[in-house]
Amino acid sequence: SYVLTQPPSVSVAPGKTARITCGGNDIGYKSVHWYQQMPGQAPVLVIYSNSDRPSGIPERFTGSNSGDTATLTISRVEAGDEADYYCQVWDSSTYHRVFGGGTKLTVL
Amino acid sequence: EVQLVESGGGLVQPGGSLRLSCVASGFTLSDYEMNWVRQAPGEGLEWVSHISKSGSTTYYADFVKGRFTISRDNAKNSLFLQMNSLRVEDTAVYYCARESTVQYFCDHWGQGTLVTVSS
């Protein structure tokens, strides 16, 4: 089955840029989606189809995908961005939805 | 406004059964495929199961195959997850999630219902 690998944690100072990676074999050929989960709350979609933003998501959130790595980039990080972030793809060989292990973003 | 409200969680002994429900509002359930996703305490998100719009096609994660059954009643705007032969490791918050019509991602999530499997 397809495996997605994320760093357990990323730390960034307010106002700086955070980059959260999601690794997978030839992930560049897949469509990657990203979710934000605040403590005690349900996940919220922040990026879909590699780089598209749902309505209401700030432009500070961008996504890219190439080769074996997809990246969620959060510019001008704010304290309110502190959360867990998960990447997700669809595995065409099994029809399963696959999540990465999640990355905890800490704003210093 | 799209809303998904799960219910049916609770405490159950290992080997027992539970049936989770998810009531949808603010959209026509029959227009969307649906998923169940779970999250064990302190752990990450884990996809559990998927069902097509009509309910004719279903998929399951390997760790629940043969024990869980996903179903839906579009007339009642409801999604279900029948969980049998429950194990301690099935303890988690179970989320109902709507799948986008664009691609294979979840565009709306419920608040979840907690299932605790313990003796």
Whether pLDDT at B78 is above 90: yes
Q: Calculate ∠ Cα A60-B111-B91, nearest 5°.
A: 115
**HSE of B1 in the Cβ direction (CA atoms, 13 Å)?**
4
Residue-wise pLDDT tens digits, A2-55:
999 999 999 999 999 999 999 999 999 999 999 999 999 999 999 999 999 999
Residues B58 and B66: beta-carbon distance below 8 Å: no
Point out the residue among B44, B62, B100 whose CB comes nearest to the CB of A86. B44
Whether pLDDT at B74 is above 90: yes
Beta bridge partners of A75: none
Residues B24 and B3: beta-carbon distance below 8 Å: yes
CA pair distance A105, A13, nearest whole angstrom: 11
Which DSSP string do the residues of B55-108 spell out, in sequence order? SS-EEE-TTTTTTEEEEEEGGGTEEEEEE-S--GGG-EEEEEEEEPSSSSSEEE
Q: Give the burial class of B78: count Cβ atoms within 10 A of its Cβ; 0-12 exposed, 13-18 middle, 19 or more buried.
A: middle
Task: Give the residue among B27, B21, B20, B19 at the shortest CA–CA distance from B3.
Answer: B27
Query: What number of helices (H) and strands (E) belong to chain B?
Result: 0, 11
Please name the residue of chain A whose CA is at the shortest distance from the CA of residue B113: A42
Which residues are within 8 A (CB) of A31 and not within 5 positions of it... i.e. 6 or more apart? A48, A49, A50, A65, A89, A90, B103, B104, B105
Mean pLDDT in chain B? 97
Whether pLDDT at B102 is above 90: no
Please name the residue of chain B whose CA is at the shortest distance from the CA of residue A46: B107
Residue-wise pLDDT tens digits, A87-108:
999 999 999 999 999 999 999 9
- Neighbour count for residue A11 (Cβ, 10 Å): 12
Chain A partners within 8 Å of B102 (Cβ): 48-49
CA pair distance B96, B114, nearest whole angstrom: 12
Query: What number of helices (H) and strands (E) belong to chain A?
Result: 0, 9
What was the pLDDT predicted at B65?
86
What was the pLDDT predicted at B103?
87
CA pair distance B118, B88, nearest whole angstrom: 6
Q: Does B100 touch chain A (CB under 8 A)?
A: yes
What was the pLDDT predicted at B54?
96
Interchain proximity A44–B109, CB inside 8 Å = yes
Interchain proximity B103–A37, CB inside 8 Å = no
Residue-wise pLDDT tens digits, B26-66:
999 999 999 999 999 999 999 999 999 999 999 999 999 89
